[in-house]
Structure formats: structure tokens, C-alpha cells
Amino acid sequence: MNDPVFLKACRGQSVEHVPVWFMRQAGRSLPEYRALRGTGSILDAIADPAIASEVTMQPVRRYGVDAAILFSDIVVPYHAIGFGVDVVPGRGPVIASPFASAADLSRLRTLTALDVAQVTETVDLVVKELEATNTPLIGFAGAPFTVASYLVEGAPTRDFALIKGLMHQDPALFGRLMDRLVEITISFLRLQVAHGARALQIFDSWAGALTRDEYQRFALPATSQVIDGLIDLGVPTILFGVGTGELLDLMTTAGSTVVGIDWHVDLDEGRRRVGHKPVQGNLDPARCLSGEALGVEAAREVIARAGSDPGHIFNLGHGVLPETDPAVLEAVVRVVHDEGKAGVR
């Protein structure tokens, strides 16, 4: 089979059309997703391969996107090893007993294939269904700093006081924590590739809470270690963070194949900041809430700023918002495929 356009764009090659997929496309705004999931825990849904594989496939069928993204969550491996993680609707990951001392390091044991067997079974099912269309599956994990933020804070936060306190007051313990997270992250991502994922995204969602110096000292080294631990797999890697416009040049040095750019930075400026590396992004998700015409207008703005250089994957600047009308995303996919120019031969 020929390489899919998504993988070609990841490598900065010429493509037949600009590829597009959406972060959080697997669920949230889709009525078929809500009907399937019901009101149960998202972790229960992720742990059911029949449900998780169907949710992963739903947006591929509806939107005609160029890649599937595994239906999962960045806290899944930590739930699997018994760290005490739950995902509370409307709030996000909550830790029953947050990481607070060196004694908690023992709770971050080595991740085994058995721990996440239901996840890899989901990957198997999705890959088998995607074979007919040669559509790649993207596996993913949380970057060590973002995961550490949840484990230390105990819940989503706006000020990151506890994690920053640990970083600066006890950098040695923070380093030991990051070492454990690097090991778990690499294991989780390698297992996804072993079962057929053809690209990987690393979500450093909260890196934008750091200063440049903090990012270089406390987050970047661990992220680089994760990416180094995946190089031999030969699959593209995408590094993405929110509010990271001032960190893009530093993120580029982590070694990922692609840098994701959120909506706070215009794409032409974002491309300048990352140099010649392929980019992913960056339609503001809120621009998809006001109907098809405005959503398409916003998509055309991104297409124009992407320019004609190869190496652009169209995406939102963050995840699909739950209120989004799926018809808007369908229209966005059409216009990107019809009018996107970056790297199109």
C-alpha cells in the first residue's frame, strides 16, 4: 500500500491533499458516541475494547478524516497500575491520594503488557478495521510533566502551585518522579505501536504553565527521553501543548517529527518558530461553534497561513468542544481536502 497522506505530511513529503484529523474527535460531540457510552465512567468505556474501538472508528466514518486517534486518556496507564486515578465528568482526572513524597514512588511501578491488555486489544480491533482504507491509527500518551501535574496536584488546576513547589523545593525528588513517568510513558507508547499504531502523539497539555527556563529545566529533558525511547520504532511522533507559543522553538529540540501548534499563535508565525519541522494545527475550536459558514471561513484562514510548504497536518488548536455540531467538522474536512495547498503536488 502507498503511505497515507497523513504519514507523508508528518515526514514533510508532498501529498495528494492536506490531511486532517481532530483532537478529541473520538467522542464528546458525536450523538452516536453519547448513545453508545451512556452515563458510565469513561475509564470503563476505555476498558471495553468493543466500545473503545467503535468510538475510535465513529469519527473516521462520519468525517472522512485522514487518521484515527485511539479512544483513551492520558491517565489510563496510571489507573492500570493502581495509582488511584478516576476521571470525574465535568472535572477531569482526580487522584485519591496525590503524589507527595519519595514514598509515593513505589506506587509508580513498571507498566506491563497485561496491565493495558484491554487497550492493546482495542488497537488490534481498530487496526484491523482501518486496513481496508489504509487509514493510520494514532496512539498517544501524556508527556511526563503534564502527567506529573495531575499526580501531584490531585486534580486539574489553574495555578500549578503544588507541582511548581515540588520542582523548585525538591528538584531531586521531582527528577525521580519524572524518571518513573518516562519509563511508563515509553512502555505504553511502544505497546501501542507493537499492536499497529502508525504514529504517536505526546500531549504536554500543561507545558504552557511553565516559563521558558522551567520548561528547559523540568519538562523538556523528560519529553526528549520519551521521544528518544521511540526512535527505533520508525513511526512519526507529534508533540503538542496548549499555550506553548513562547516555547515552540524549545519544543522543536525535543526531537519529535511534528510539532503541534495551538490556536494562540497564527500558523505562519508558528511555522517560522519551529523552523523546517512539519507542523499540526491550528483552528481555534471555538470557531466551530457558530455554524458551518463561520467554521469554513476560519478553516480557510488557517489554510492560507499554512502556505505552500509541505509538512502541514490540519487540526484544531486543541480538542473538539462538546457543543460542536458535527456538520461543521464535516464541512471543515471538505474544505481542507478541496482547498488545502501545503505540500500538495
- Catalytic site includes residue 262: no
Closest by CA to 248, choosing from 233, 259, 234, is 259
Helix, strand, coil proportions of the chain in percent (round to 5)? 50, 10, 35
- Catalytic site includes residue 217: no
Given a contact cutoff of 8 angstroms between Cβ atoms, the answer to whether 63 and 329 are in contact is yes
Count CB-CB contacts under 10 A for residue 39: 6
- Catalytic site includes residue 212: no
Exactly one of 63, 66, 73, 78 is catalytic; name it.
73
Exactly one of 24, 180, 198, 271 is catalytic; name it.
24
For the four alpha carbons of 158, 161, 162 and 165, in that order, the dihedral sign comes to positive
Q: How far is CA 207 from CA 6, 120, 182, 320, 334, in A?
A: 26, 28, 16, 20, 32
Beta strands in 163-285 (DSSP E): 199-203, 237-240, 258-260, 279-283
- Catalytic site includes residue 33: no
Exactly one of 33, 78, 150, 215 is catalytic; name it.
150
For residues 259 and 277, what is the distance between their CA atoms, to the nearest angstrom? 7
Q: How far is CA 123 from CA 2, 34, 188, in A?
A: 21, 21, 12
Q: What angle do CA 235, 151, 284 make, to 5 degrees?
A: 60
Largest CA distance in the chain: 57
Given a contact cutoff of 8 angstroms between Cβ atoms, the answer to whether 144 and 226 are in contact is yes
Exactly one of 11, 28, 107, 300 is catalytic; name it.
28
Catalytic residue ranges: 24, 28, 37, 73, 150
